[in-house]
Amino acid sequence: MRYEDVYRQSIEDPEGFWAEQARAIDWHVPPQRILEYTDPPFRRWFAGGLTNLCHNAVDRHLAARGDQLALVAVSSETGTTRKISYRQLHREVNTFAAALKSLGVGRGDRVVVYMPNMAEAVFAMLACARIGAVHSVVFGGFAAHNLALRIDDAKPKLLIAADAGMRGGRVIPYKPLVDQALAAAVSPPPHVLIVSRGLDPDPAWVQGRDVDYAPLRARYEDAEVPVEWLESNEPSYLLYTSGTTGKPKGVQRDVGGYAVAMALSMRAVYDVGPGQVMFSTSDVGWAVGHSYNVYGPLIVGATSLLYEGLPTNPDPGIWWKLCADYGVRTMFSSPTGIRVLKKQDGAWLKKHDLTALKWLFLAGEPLDEPTAQWISDGLGKPIIDNYWQTETGWPVLTLLPGLDLKPVKFGSPGLPNLGYKLRVIDEVTGADAAAGQKGVLVIEPPLPPGCMTTVWNDDQRFLSSYFSHFKELLYSSLDWAVRDEDGYTFILGRTDDVINVAGHRLGTREIEESVATHPSVAEAAVVGVHDALKGQVPVVFATLRQATADTPESAASGMLQCVVDQLGGVARPARVYVVNALPKTRSGKLLRRSLQALAEDRDPGDLSTLDDPGALDECRRALERGPSGGA
């Protein structure tokens, strides 16, 4: 089928299109109406239909593929591997669901899950879905203050935590963080369910509040917990994302629309079906982890490979070894992960048999062309960028190899995904931007199934955060974009990441792309720094590839020349700082605002999500030493 024909149907006849897609999942009661849209931009997909995410991810596969692997949980941190069939997954989820019910958790109750990439995190999520509870997964090891904020917003009936996580061989005890968060929270849950991995030999238990999962698992190992059938638009989970006010936004997802979107995206986008293997390197605490570590692969009867560990441990070939060992068909990672590997010997890409691997998808941040070219050349596999947000739950821009693969254009995540009516518009006039003209990427409502339904307990914030930026009712992605004559969209960076240099508006992404074309550069971050004469000037922080013979000074000079050659003198960075590491969150996003604050001698702000505090200190010392090149 031609992409153009299917896309046109999804936009011109959305009810007919989505009615057809809804047949891919099981309904206890079929939808009475495909779309209710009487209160824009709020909408209700598959209204009146009753279904359940856990049933669609587990139960319905038992007859045909009960003994097939559903989940392979590999930890290079603990040196363990767990292979779990659909039948075993069903048993573990029923046991976990019985434990939840014994602690008073029921339909509509919120449950905060604070765990790393371990099998029990998946059991917990599916158990919540089974009984109609609303899970909110918080990245394991997240700072106590941020955990407390999420607890107070969700007001959970229960918090589930691992005793500890590991990163780079270092044990990170979770229990002290949980205790601090609950002490600070206004609405702490009555119970904390602890899943021990044996990593924290002496956790401090709070009598009457903390519950050990091990005896509950033994007690309920034969339990059968019936599925709770939910109306399609009831909440399935909350996933918190940072907000401009400092208070995180609880992105609320539905049940039926999300299940249908997952089924469609697994087939059309990721080209994965029953019995095939998908490997997403994301953490379950992020949007990709929810959609493509857990729900997406399981809903279509595939095998999900769940990995806990670094991409370089025990060696930089670990991802590719896993692909070879388990016959991975589609892998999903991030540009940051690939840039980490780019600093290593490229020979690691060739050490394992990747015959089964068909596609490598990258998302989570803009994919620069040099990184895309490097991994494409190294693997000899198609590299498919895709663009989406926590709020959308599945790709907005992508290519669709499972339907009709269009040519890859490095630097672009591709074409509008099915169901997304996209425009690039002028930020001032709201008029559609011409091909090659920069504008803001927007989505015409109603948002397709799978996207957020609202902000938890705050419809007004949903409206003000996403639909109040233009006179016309449009969802703003808050991302700059440009569309070429072939309809491919290129993301240029956040609308609030614009550098205004002497009246010239420059996107940080544009300059980063140019800097990254220098062969010695492994990764670069560009920030706008206040300048008394020009308003702002671009400043570069960059790491170099290990194999480079360039000195920091010669590399900096080369970066400057790359920018001048590609963007002109007006975009020439004022300063370049060559550093050993760039500060990132645990999900791999660069902390550009913190770098900007450091460069302007301001407080770098909340660093609770920082993966390696030493990286920020390294940049601070570089600023004290002075630039490697520039002005």
pLDDT band, residue 509 (cuts 50/70/90): confident
CA 258, CA 447: separation in Å to the nearest integer? 12
Q: What percent of the chain has pLDDT over 90?
A: 80
Sign of CA dihedral 49, 51, 56, 61: negative
Cα–Cα–Cα angle for 78, 81, 82, rounded to 5 degrees? 125
* Residues 495 and 440 sit within 8 Å (Cβ to Cβ): yes
Mean of pLDDT values over 594-609: 83
pLDDT surpassing 90 at residue 92? yes
Mean of pLDDT values over 281-294: 95
pLDDT at 506: 77
Mean of pLDDT values over 89-96: 98
* Residues 15 and 36 sit within 8 Å (Cβ to Cβ): no
DSSP 569: G
Domains of the chain in start order, with CATH, are 3-309+386-478 (3.40.50.12780), 497-630 (3.30.300.30)
CA 297, CA 294: separation in Å to the nearest integer? 6
| Parallel, antiparallel or unpaired: strands 535-544 and 521-531 | antiparallel
pLDDT at 493: 75
| Parallel, antiparallel or unpaired: strands 504-507 and 498-501 | antiparallel
CA 105, CA 95: separation in Å to the nearest integer? 14
pLDDT at 504: 66
For 11, counting Cβ atoms within 10 Å of its Cβ (0-12 exposed, 13-18 middle, 19+ buried), the class is middle
Residues pairing with 137 in the sheet? 113
pLDDT band, residue 497 (cuts 50/70/90): low
CA 349, CA 338: separation in Å to the nearest integer? 11
Listed range (88-97, 105-114, 530-539) with the worst mean pLDDT: 530-539
Residues pairing with 611 in the sheet? none
CA 359, CA 381: separation in Å to the nearest integer? 6
Residues 362-394: tens digit of each pLDDT: 998 778 888 899 999 999 999 999 999 999 999
Mean of pLDDT values over 91-109: 98
3-state secondary structure 264-309: HHHHHCCCCCCCCEEEECCCCCCHHHHHHHHHHHHHCCCEEEEEEC
pLDDT at 482: 96
Closest CA to 71 of 20, 27, 126: 126
CA 309, CA 145: separation in Å to the nearest integer? 25
Residues 542-598: tens digit of each pLDDT: 999 988 889 999 999 999 999 988 777 888 999 999 999 999 887 777 888 889 989
Mean of pLDDT values over 236-263: 88
3-state class percentages of the chain: helix first, strand second, coil last, to nearest 5: 35, 25, 40
pLDDT at 333: 95
Listed range (2-16, 33-47, 449-463, 587-601) with the worst mean pLDDT: 587-601
pLDDT at 40: 97
Bond into 407 cis (ω within 30): no
pLDDT surpassing 80 at residue 142? no
Residue with tokens 């240099």, as numbered in its chain: 501
pLDDT surpassing 70 at residue 496? no
Closest CA to 423 of 4, 11, 5: 11
pLDDT surpassing 70 at residue 503? no
DSSP string of 233-261, one letter each residue: TS--EEEEE--TTSSPEEEEE-SHHHHHH
pLDDT band, residue 605 (cuts 50/70/90): confident
Mean of pLDDT values over 494-504: 70
Single pTM value for the model: 0.87
Residues 163-221: tens digit of each pLDDT: 999 988 999 999 999 999 999 999 999 999 999 999 988 888 999 999 999 999 999 99
For residue 501, give the 3-state DSSP assignment: strand
Mean of pLDDT values over 284-312: 96
pLDDT surpassing 60 at residue 243? no
For the chain, give the number of residues.
631
* Residues 146 and 248 sit within 8 Å (Cβ to Cβ): yes
* Residue 415 CB neighbour total at 10 angstroms: 21
Whole-number mean pLDDT of the chain? 93
pLDDT band, residue 603 (cuts 50/70/90): confident
